[in-house]
Amino acid sequence: MQTLRVTISLALVALTLGACAPSGAASGSARPSSTGALATGAAPAALVIRYEESAQFELTLPSGRRVYIDVYDDSLLEKQPSANDILLTTVLYAHHYHSGFAGGFPGRKLVATAGEIRLDDLHVVSFDASGTGQPVDQQNPTDQMVLIEAAGLRLLACGDEDQEALTAEQVVAMGGPIDIAICPLQNTYGDGDPTGRKALNVIDQIRPKLLLPTHVIMDEARKAVAEWAATYADKAQIAVTVGSLPATTTMLLLGDHAKDYGTMLKLTPTTSW
């Protein structure tokens, strides 16, 4: 993994990019009810989102419960899990999955399988997707999309999704507007995409308020910032509330290389989160 990070850093130094003027598209759909709704007059409770490279995220709910997504390197975690926590794995690739960590996880988990977890502060639904560019195979799915409802927010983790478009079944499973989407800008394990548009088209269909991209390839990043508002955070984690969501789709770069990407894309660092 250290070799991968060094390779990415060297590639970044070699690239030069022009500035783009981004724009976004807002969703006019009404927000469905979510778990963790705030009582009248209560201060907004934040969902803390920590990015730990590849597709690994660590969410901290207002209750203190943690949700671990696509953990491939448990040494990067801010906190080791307890029986109160949740593990969600979208696909059994080495950059999304650590068999030892998953096997010994002390809490509830959904590991590359469809299913549901419902708790007093959290609702999770995992549903079949394709990570190969082929039609979704419900008998042998190659990816899972995971919907997470917590702190009044609706977050969708797309894993290694590599589809031309969402299926009707996936749209139903999503159940309404998505606040935050964790989506790849490119799937290098899929069937290839000469246009470089496939992943962006699916994101356009999801229409999240906040996009946290994974598998960032600079050619696709250039296309993304031409389509949506974009910024970056020069830190490992952000705290998001319903009130802090942007009005239109905004791509937020996180992680070790976010500042490098942001500098070359001529982005302004965020002050919102």
Q: What are phi and psi of 211, to 5 degrees?
A: -105, 120
Query: Digits of tens for pLDDT over the chain (273 positions)?
Result: 434 343 344 344 333 333 333 333 333 333 444 444 333 445 568 999 999 999 999 999 999 999 999 999 999 999 999 999 999 999 999 999 999 999 999 999 999 999 999 999 999 999 999 999 899 998 899 999 999 999 999 999 999 999 999 999 999 999 999 999 999 998 666 555 656 678 899 999 999 999 999 988 888 899 999 999 999 998 889 999 999 999 999 999 999 999 999 999 999 999 889
Helices (H) and strands (E) in the chain, counts: 6, 14
Whether this model's pTM surpasses 0.85: no
User: Domains plus CATH for the chain?
Assistant: 46-264 (3.60.15.10)
Strand partners, 108: 86
Sign of the alpha-carbon torsion through 86, 88, 92, 96: negative
Q: Is 80 helix (H, G, I), strand (E, B) or coil?
A: coil
CA distance 139 to 79: 35
